[in-house]
Amino acid sequence: MFAIIAILILLLYAILGFKKPGIALITSPVVCFLLGYAAVLRETFENILFVPVIFIVTLLAVLMAKREPDSEEWPQKCAKWLLIILVCLLLSVTAGFLFSPLSIIGFMFFILFIGSIIAYGLTSRHTTAAYVVSIIGSSMRQNLPLPMALESAASGLTDHRSRILRRIQKWLVQGYSLSESIKRGYPKCSGYVVAMIAAAERIDQLPLAMKSIEADMVTKADESRKIRPVHPAYPIILIIFMFFIVSGLMWKVFPAFQAVLTEMTDGAQFPASTRLLIRIANFITYQYGWLIGLVFALVVLVAVPASIRIKFRPRRPDKPYLTSRIVDFIKWHSPVLHWFEKNYSMVQVVELLRLSLNADGTVDNAIANTLGLDVNNCFRKRLKKWLEKVERGDNIATAARQTGLGSPLAWAFDEQVNQGNTLTVLETLESLYRSNYSYRANLVRFIMWPCVTLIMGAMVGFVVYAIFSPLIVIVNHTADFAFP
C-alpha cells in the first residue's frame, strides 16, 4: 500500500512540476520529508528510496516546464542549481568510495574535475559575451535598426545566446538605452563591456567603442582557450598531494622500515635525508596539523565557493561590491600585480579619453566619463583627484603627474610639448599600454613558471631520495653479509 501511494505521489509531482513549477518546487521538500518520516515509523526502510526519486523527478519536471522563450523563471533557476549541487555531492561520495582507502586522492581528482568544469564555464561565458558584442557591433556598422537586427539574429534559434539577444531586443523596444538593455537582458555581461558602452553613449561614440570592445572580447575569449604550459593551481595541488603521500608513509611504512633497519643493522639510524623529512613531516602534522586542517577546511568551504562566486559574478563599476574593493586593494598594493592593474586601467582610460576628445568634448567631461569605467577602485580615486584639480583650474598635465597617473598621460596633455597633438599621443599611448601588458604577462609567465617547475622538481626529488635511502642502507648491509 505504501509503495502504491509513493508511486501516485511521484506521478502527481511529475505532472505538477511541469504544469505548476513554483508550487511543486515549494511543496515537494515537505511531502518528501513526510513520506520519509512515515517510512521510518512503519520500519519499511526500503521505501525511503522513493524520497530522493520523487524529489529528483520533481526537479527535472520543473526544469522542463514551459516558459517564455526569452526568460527563465525562478523555479527553473532553483531546480537547475539544486540538481547541480546534488550531482556534485553524488560525485564526491562516489569518488570517496571508489578510491577508498585512498579517498583523499580520489577527492583531489574530484576537485580537479570540478575545476575543469568551472574553467569550461568561464570560457563559455567569455565566448558568449564576445558573440553578443560581435552581433551588436556588426549591426551598428551596417547601420541597421538594432532591435530588428537582434531579432533577426535570434530568429529560429532556441539556444542560450539567442535568448540573450531576445531579452536585449525586448528592452531596446521599450525605449531603454543599449547599456541599460544589456544590464537588464544580459545581467552576466562583463562590467567592462557595460561601463564602456555607457560611457560611449554619453559622448555619442558608440560605434567606435563597440569596435574596440569587440576586439577586446574576442582576444579574451581566444586567450582563455589557449593551453598554458603550467596551470597556476599545479604547484598547490602537487604540494598537497605530496604532503598526504608523505603523511601516509610516516604512519604506515617508516615505522616498519625503522624496525627492519634496527634489527638488521644492530641499531643503525635512518640516513640524514630521511631523518630531515621525518622531522619536517612531524613538525607540520603534529605541531601545526590543527592549523593546517583549519586552513584547508576554510579554503574548501569558504574561499573556493567565494572565489567561484566572484569569478561568475560580473563587476559593478558604479557601486563596487565589498569583495571587489578588497580584491582591488590587494592587487593595487601587491608588488607585481600593481603594474598590471595600473596598465590595464590605463588602457581603458586612454581609450575613452581619446574617444571623448574626438567627439569635441571638454577635458573635464572626458575625465568625468572615465569614472564609470571598470577599473581598479584605487586607480579610480586618482582619477577623481585629477578631475577635482582640473575643475579647480590647475594645469592638466601637472595635475596628472601630481595624482600619480604617470608621465606618459601628462605628456599627452602638455600644451608646451604637444600642443594640438593630444589625440595622436593618446592613440599612441593606447597601443603602447596594450602591447606592454601582453609583453609583461608573457615575460612573467615564461620566467616564473620554469622557476616554479625547478623548485617543484627539487622538492619531489628530495622526497623520493629520502624515501628510498633506507632501502639502500639495508641492501648495502645485507651485501656485506653475502660478500664479506
Amino acid 78: pLDDT: 78
Is residue 278, in this structure, part of any structural domain at all?
Answer: no
Split into its structural domains, the chain has a count of 3
- Range of the structural domain that residue 173 is part of: 120-223
Is residue 250, in this structure, part of any structural domain at all?
Answer: no
Residues 343 and 421 in one domain: yes
Domain boundary among 195, 223, 251: 223
pLDDT of 228 higher than 60: no
Residues 363 and 399 in one domain: yes
Is residue 154, in this structure, part of any structural domain at all?
Answer: yes
Domain boundary among 78, 94, 110: 94
Taking Cα atoms as reference points, which of 56, 54, 7 lies closest to residue 31? Answer: 54
Residues 437 and 340 in one domain: yes
The residue to which cell 598531494 is assigned: 241
Residues 85 and 124 in one domain: no
pLDDT of 227 higher than 50: no
Maximum separation of any 2 CA atoms in the chain, in Å: 98
Domain boundary among 196, 223, 250: 223
Q: Give phi and psi for 405, each to the nearest 5.
A: -85, -5
Amino acid 96: pLDDT: 53
Is residue 244, in this structure, part of any structural domain at all?
Answer: no
Residues 49 and 125 in one domain: no
Residues 339 and 443 in one domain: yes
pTM value?
Answer: 0.60
pLDDT of 69 higher than 50: no
Residue 269 CA to residue 267 CA, distance in Å, equals 6
pLDDT of 158 higher than 80: no
pLDDT in tens, 305-331: 677 666 667 777 777 888 888 888 988
Is residue 348, in this structure, part of any structural domain at all?
Answer: yes
Residues 65 and 165 in one domain: no
Residues 335 and 433 in one domain: yes
pLDDT of 361 higher than 60: yes
Q: What cell does 191 get?
A: 562590467
Mean pLDDT confidence for 389-401: 87
Residues 350 and 438 in one domain: yes
